[in-house]
Amino acid sequence: ALVLGTAVALVLLVLAAVVARVVCGRDAIGNFAGTFSNPSFFGIPLVVATVGAKSVFYNVGFIALMNIGQWTYGVSLLTHQNGEPSPTPRQVLRDVATAPFMIASLVGIALFCTQPPLPDVVTTCLDDVAALNTPLAMFMIGVYLAQTDVRRMLARVANYRVALARIVVSPLFSLALLSVIPGMPYQMRMALLIAAACPVGANVAVYAQLHDADYAYAVETVVVSVLLSIVTVPLVVGLANLVWL
């Protein structure tokens, strides 16, 4: 299941990158924002609520690949636009191998495969930390929104172009693709679809700031897509249920 889910996740991410390129053109931040969703802070609570906590396992590959894509493809978009030298393959490999998300993913997979008995204090702490996902995501969005000129944000056409790619076109194509792949249980399909339908990941603002790109614009893409996803995500999930059930 992990191998199949990871392979499908890779296809969905490539599909999102193609959609973002078509919709957003040469806009580097738009391409970054349109490609990478927020399947962890935003997606995991939705997966738990929709198909159960165990289905989060299907999103491990998606989250790991998305983070690798941000460190490689995403950074290359921003550095190329700013004229910075792109990192060498050796640097990229070293950074990805030592990144916290990669280490955490490998530890999680090892624990899932071996199923060692853990003390109650450990499992309780992990459950409590996991429960912080939704509040922390909302807190981050509030911080970003507080730094945003709302009038300018609502008037910028590019924000809606990014939202169109990220939470409308990509999810619909992902739904069509997931519908024709054989051998996938419903829980896996829905978990991956929710990950693909999530709004712009907050990391676009972090990377934009790190690479001296238009940080304010990056924040706006996050906020606008989150606000609009309140409508689009339920519609995509409802459409999927009509097709799959």
**CATH number for position 205:** 1.20.1530
Whether the per-residue pLDDT at 87 is higher than 70: the answer is: no
Higher pLDDT, 110 or 151: 151
Handedness of CA 128, 134, 135, 140 (dihedral sign): positive
d(CA 76, CA 32): 10
d(CA 74, CA 79): 9
Residue 113 pLDDT: 78
Q: What mean pLDDT is predicted for residues 150-171?
A: 95
> What is the residue range of 213's domain?
2-244
Q: What is the pTM (predicted TM-score) of this model?
A: 0.84
Q: Tens of pLDDT along 161-176?
A: 999 999 999 999 999 9
Residue 106 pLDDT: 78
Q: What Rg do the C-alpha atoms of the chain give, in angstroms?
A: 18
Residue 181 pLDDT: 93
Q: What mean pLDDT is predicted for residues 4-18?
A: 95
Whether the per-residue pLDDT at 46 is higher than 70: the answer is: yes
Helix (H) or strand (E) run with residue 140 in it: helix 133-146
Q: Are 164 and 23 in contact (CB under 8 A)?
A: yes
Residue 235 pLDDT: 97
Relative orientation angle of helices 2-24 and 28-35, to the nearest 10 degrees: 150
Q: Could you give the number of structural domains in the chain? A: 1
Residue 242 exposed, middle or buried by CB count within 10 Å (0-12, 13-18, 19+): exposed
Residue 84 pLDDT: 60
Q: What mean pLDDT is predicted for residues 104-111?
A: 77
Q: What mean pLDDT is predicted for residues 25-41?
A: 94
d(CA 93, CA 95): 6
**pLDDT averaged over every residue in the chain:** 88
